[in-house]
Structure 1
Amino acid sequence: MPQVSHKGKNMPESPIRKLVPFAEKAYKAKKTVYHLNIGQPDIKSPEVAMDAVAHHHLEILAYTRSEGSQEYREKISKYYKNNQIPAEADDIVVTTGGSEALLFAMGSIADVDDEIIIPEPFYANYNGFATASGVKIVPVISKIEDNFALPPISEFEKLITPKTKAILICNPGNPTGYLYSKEEIQKLAEIVKKHDLFLVADEVYREFVYDGAKHYSILEEESMAEYGILIDSVSKRYSMCGARVGCLVSRNKQVISTALKFAQARLSPPTFAQIASEAALQTPQSYFDEVITEYQDRRNTLVAALKKIPGVKVGEPKGAFYCIVELPVKNSDAFAQWLLESFDDNGETVMVAPAAGFYSSAGVGLNQIRIAYVLKKESLVRAVDILRIALENYQD
């Protein structure tokens, strides 16, 4: 019998999506499930984006350029410049979501068995992208006790080998919500220059920062022109996850020309989604102001409620819309499955993402979950109350 590849066998399951079959059984059992497991915003997509697709004048749904349409890339460039990020249209390759941008980045800068250092916990699909690319992730652990701040640079330097090609960060972080400061970005800039590495920054949550803080992009550092690769997406910024449009941005011409070859191999990014994404750039600042206020209120509501549960520890996010929560359980995978299979409170339960899948170090994060606060405040309050009751009844 033919066998599947070792790469396929090693491809990790998504900790976010692997519990879906159990959720479906819960639906069939007529349970209400509060979804805290996935970063699907409930905020409406900008009307201007939806209208652009609804009222298009295309007669043929044709390919666009492999790097994305010229008009869209010029408008993205203008957006970046308005955010103090110097990027021209030719520095941008439009991709099928931020996921493809990350795959293009790994494929462009690393060969099989090369290494990329990533502070963990990190976005779970980095594990999958690395497996697909034949790249080895080397984790440097950040801790909930430090609110997942950047580990000491000395910890990075201990891990650098001749195989190391890059440091990858997510800023603000998924799953931690941590926002790297300007000083932390500058420390990373210094180390990649010192060791001749790339600094890859997944900045898809740039708009979502709280408490009056400001996001600082790696490409705001002039010295990162040759070293920096920015990953971006419209998914969360405009609540357009289904559009599947992102981009890779770098002022390193060799990186862009290499990424473009990967882009040519998949032909082009989706045409309708580019139309929507281009129109979304007209979204007024008032939209983001309202969204940020809403998410900040949700964060405050969620964290305050979680802190009232005995034995629970929670990281306090400064951006994005996630937080890591440490529970008084031995194995959060088993607990998350039990919540869907065997527990309810008046016909209601919650779905969470076990956090071990956001680490690459074995045995780390087993008693943690990631919560996405993408529900309205009253739903978050009820969901946390269900979580409290569940913990009181759960037997490891």
Structure 2
Amino acid sequence: MPTISRKGQLMPESPIRKLVPFAEQARKDGKHIYYLNIGQPDIKTPQVALDAVKENDIEILSYSRTEGSKAYRQKLAAYYEKHNIHVSHTDIIVTTGASEALLFLFSSIMDPEDEVIISEPFYANYIAFSTATGVNVVPAVCSIEDNFALPPVETFENLITDKTKAILICNPGNPTGYLYSEEEIKQLAAIAKKHDLFLIADEVYREFVYDGNSHYSIMQLENTDDYTIVIDSVSKRYSMCGARIGCLISKNKTVMQTVMKFAQARLSPPTYAQIASEAALDTPQSYFDDVIAEYVDRRDTLIHELKQIDGVKVGTPKGAFYCIAELPIKNSDNFAQWLLEKFSINNETVMIAPAGGFYSTPGLGLNQVRIAYVLNKESLIKAVHILKEALKVYKD
């Protein structure tokens, strides 16, 4: 019988989505599920974006430009200007989600067996992208003990080899909610310049920053144009996950020309989704003010409730809408499946994301889960109550 590739065998399952069959069965059994496993906001998509598609009079749904429509990229550049990020529309390539941007980038700047240093835990699909391109992830391990703060600069330097090509961060972070300070960003940039590496920042959660803090983009750095690359997306910012529109931003012309070749091979990003994304840029600041206030309220509720459970340890996110919680269990994969198959209160249960899949270091995160606080406060309180009662009876 024909065999699949080694790369196919190594491709990891999504820790976020692999439990879906168990959730589907739980629903068939009549259970109500509180979904804490995936970053799908319940916030309404801005009406201006939806209306732009509904009211469009396109008669031929043709290809867009490979790099994305000029009008959208120009409007994006104006958006970034408001955030003190000075780029031209020629510094932007529109992609089918941030995922495609990362795949194109990994293929453009790294060869198989090259290395990328990533602060760990990290977005699980970074492993998938590295596997797909043959790149090796080298983790810079962060700890829940200090709220997943960036490791000392020396840690990064000690990980650099002749195969290292880039440092990748997510700011604010998924799955930890960690927000990198301006000082930390500048330290990483100094390392990148010193060792001739690319510094990549996944900034899809830029707007979601709390407690009076502000987001500092690597694109605000001076004299780093050849080194810095930003990945962005409309998915979380405008609650438009289904649009699948992201982008890659860099002033490094060689990088952009190379990424463009990969983009040409997939022809173009989706036209209607670009129309919606362009219109979404007209979303008023009041929308974000309300959304951020809602997420702060949800975060505070979730963290407070989790801290009432004996044996649970949790960090406090400064951004995004996730947290990592350490539970008094041995294996969160087994626990998450058990919750869906075996446990409920009043026919209600919870779906969580086992955190082991957010680590590349063997053995780390096995007793941790990622929780997305994308539900209303009442639902979060009910979900944590279910977790609390489940932990009382669960046996590893």
What's the TM-score, normalizing by structure 1?
1.00
Matches within 5 A, 1:151-300: 151-300=151-300
SS in 2 for 1:385: helix
SS in 2 for 1:374: coil
Matches within 5 A, 1:277-356: 277-356=277-356
Deviations 1:188-243 (A, max 9, x none): 01000000000000000000000011000000001221100000000000000000
Structure 2: distance between partners of 1:203 and 1:104:
17
Percent of aligned pairs sharing the same letter = 69
Tell me which residue corresponds to 1:44: 44
Structure 2 unaligned regions, length at least 5: none
SS in 2 for 1:303: helix
Tell me which residue corresponds to 1:374: 374
Residues matched between the structures, number: 396
Deviations 1:163-182 (A, max 9, x none): 00000000000000000000
Tell me which residue corresponds to 1:56: 56
Letter in 1 for 2:269: P
Structure 2: distance between partners of 1:105 and 1:300:
36
SS in 2 for 1:126: helix
Tell me which residue corresponds to 1:5: 5
Letter in 2 for 1:295: Y
SS in 2 for 1:324: strand
Letter in 2 for 1:3: T
Structure 2: distance between partners of 1:391 and 1:127:
30
Deviations 1:337-392 (A, max 9, x none): 00000000110100000000000111100000000000000000000000000000
Letter in 2 for 1:231: I
Structure 2: distance between partners of 1:222 and 1:51:
39
C-alpha displacement of 1:57: 1.4
SS in 1 for 2:105: helix
Structure 2: distance between partners of 1:358 and 1:148:
13
Structure 1: distance between partners of 2:220 and 2:240:
26
Structure 1: distance between partners of 2:65 and 2:135:
28
Is 2:108 aligned against 1:87?
no
Structure 2: distance between partners of 1:354 and 1:268:
35
Tell me which residue corresponds to 2:116: 116
Deviations 1:237-279 (A, max 9, x none): 0000000000000011111111100100000000000000000
C-alpha displacement of 1:108: 1.1
C-alpha displacement of 1:308: 0.4
Tell me which residue corresponds to 1:33: 33
Letter in 2 for 1:124: A
Letter in 1 for 2:372: A
C-alpha displacement of 1:302: 0.2
Tell me which residue corresponds to 2:129: 129
Give every structure 1 segment of 4 or more consecutive aligned residues whose post-TM-superposition deviation is greater than 3 Å.
Answer: none
Is 2:72 aligned against 1:69?
no
Structure 2: distance between partners of 1:12 and 1:300:
33
Deviations 1:273-328 (A, max 9, x none): 00000000000000000000000000000000000000000010000000000000
Structure 2: distance between partners of 1:33 and 1:186:
43
Q: Which moved more, 1:104-113 or 1:116-125?
A: 104-113
SS in 2 for 1:223: coil
Structure 2: distance between partners of 1:375 and 1:224:
39
C-alpha displacement of 1:65: 0.5
What's the TM-score, normalizing by structure 2?
1.00
Letter in 1 for 2:211: D
Structure 1 unaligned regions, length at least 5: none
Structure 2: distance between partners of 1:119 and 1:183:
16
Letter in 2 for 1:108: S
Deviations 1:67-95 (A, max 9, x none): 00000000000001110011100000000
